Each structure stands twice: as C-alpha cells, then as structure tokens.
Structure 1
Amino acid sequence: MILDVYRKVEKVVLEKFSDLVLNTEVVYSPAGRARKLRINLLDGSYIDVWYSHKKDYSYHWERRSINHRVFRHDNAPHQKWKKVRTFPKHFHNGSNSNVVESNISSDPAVAIEQFMNFVRETIRSKPKTFQAKEIGR
C-alpha cells in the first residue's frame, strides 16, 4: 500500500533530518487515497514525494520561490530524456530543462536518505550533483 511507503519515508525523514524539517503531511485525494508526502523544510521550501502502484516515483524539491530552482528525481519516461544513460530515471538539476543521470536507489527508505543528504548539502551551500554530465536539451 502506498500509504505504508509514505509512512516509512516519513519516519526516515523525521528521525535523520530533524535539522532540516519543519513538518510532514500525507496529502490525500478527495476519494481518500494517499497522493503524496509533503515535507516542509525550515528554509521555507518543500519536498513532495510521490509513488504509484506501478513503481513510478518522484522526489521533488520546490525552491522556485526562494532561488528559482527545482530539483527532482523521477522515472517518468519522457522521450525528451531518452539519451540519459539511466533512462527512464533522471534528475532535474536546478531546473526542469537541466537533466542528468539519476542513480537514486529504488528502495524508498534509501532513496529519501540520499535525496535528503543532497538537500542538506545544498542548503549548506555545498551543492552535490548525482551526475555532472548534462544531456542535450
């Protein structure tokens, strides 16, 4: 069940990244289904974690209101990113058009820890990219 995945991810975030996290909440659809996990960060930005029953996912860090940047690991099979070695997995590194390879784990508990470590390093002004190789736009 997707809610179980969100609770597992939430537990990792609250236990290991309390220095970054203001609060978390599972966002539900009008039909009562768990749609995503929202992680509100102390700096005013937020992360949305989304999973589907088909193993689709997205780890989206929204910072456009702070510094016009967005970071997202996802596995949506957009043909535009077909040249990415890890396709359909890819990472939007700072913008929707700057896409590089994604080596994030397929295990949600490990993946959120990898992503939150990236967030921590970025907030501390020591950006880390998962891959430096850009793919043609």
Structure 2
Amino acid sequence: MPSIDELRKIAEIEFADIVKDSLIVDHKLRIFLVKHGFIDVSLSQKLPDKFGFHWEVTDTDGTIFRYDNFPDKNWSNVSSYPYHFHNGSQMNVEASPFPLAILEGFRAFLEFVRVKMRLADQPV
C-alpha cells in the first residue's frame, strides 16, 4: 500500500493546477483545493489496502464525492463492492468508475475533481 506521503506528493506535483496546499494530520491527508473545497484522504491503519478519497464541495449545499473500498454492507448490492462511489451525496452510491488499485484510483479521482472544477467554472 502506498504511504500517505506518496499520495500527498502526487497531489501536489501532478495536480498542482488544482491543489493549493495539503496537510497530514493523524494518518490522514487533507488536500486544500484552489477553489471548490477540499479532499480528505484516508488509508486504513487497521484494514489492509482500505482507503477513502472524499471531496467536500464547500461552495454548494453539501455536495460530496467519495470513492472508497471500506466494506459497508449498505452498498453490497453495488457490482464493484466493496469498491463504490458516492456521486454527489452520501446516499447516491454506484459502482466504482475508477481503477481499483490505490495509486491509479487516486490519480483518476483527482482527474475527476479537475474536470468537475473546470466544468463548474465555465460560463453558463
């Protein structure tokens, strides 16, 4: 499993256009975006290879996007279980659209954030 510091470097270097800063606190990484909120990254200390990438869109009314593989039985009907994606809200859960490997999934999740941010900034 990659370290939280490896993920931090990927975010700050490969996604410098959307990442303002980051901070590691108690085995978790918070990535501050240039706008539209922050991303929290969790790597389980107890369960091997379990992770969560959570984007909190702070300039909306509670929109969240989260990709994780914690085995929540509420989502056992999802075809990619335990991998699942909260698309816009806690209860809107679907199969993972991201690679299942942590590093590739992390990069794909950050690319998803990048694309969403660009779309949000386009004039209507």
Q: TM-score, normalised by structure 1?
A: 0.78
- The partner residue of 1:66 within 59, 66, 75 is 59
Residue 39 of structure 1 corresponds to 31
SS at match of 1:125: helix
Q: State how 1:77-92 maps to structure 2 within 5 Å.
A: 77-92=71-86
- The partner residue of 2:112 within 108, 118, 126 is 118
What is the one-letter code of the residue matched to 1:22? Answer: K
Deviation at 1:44, TM superposition (A): 4.7
Residue 23 of structure 1 corresponds to 21
1:8-28 superposed Cα distances (whole Å, 9 cap, x missing partner): 111111111111011011112
- Measured on the aligned residues, the alpha-carbon RMSD in Å equals 1.7
What is the one-letter code of the residue matched to 2:38? Answer: Y
Stretches of structure 1 lacking an aligned partner (at least 5 in a row): 29-34, 127-137
8 Å contact kept, 2:30–2:39: yes
Residue 7 of structure 1 corresponds to 5
SS at match of 1:26: strand
What is the one-letter code of the residue matched to 2:59? Answer: I
Q: TM-score, normalised by structure 2?
A: 0.85
8 Å contact kept, 2:83–2:100: no
Q: Distance in 1 between matches of 2:4 and 2:100?
A: 14
8 Å contact kept, 1:9–1:108: no
8 Å contact kept, 1:8–1:109: no
The alignment covers a number of residue pairs equal to 117
Residue 105 of structure 1 corresponds to 99
Deviates more, 1:98-107 or 1:16-25: 98-107
8 Å contact kept, 1:86–1:103: no
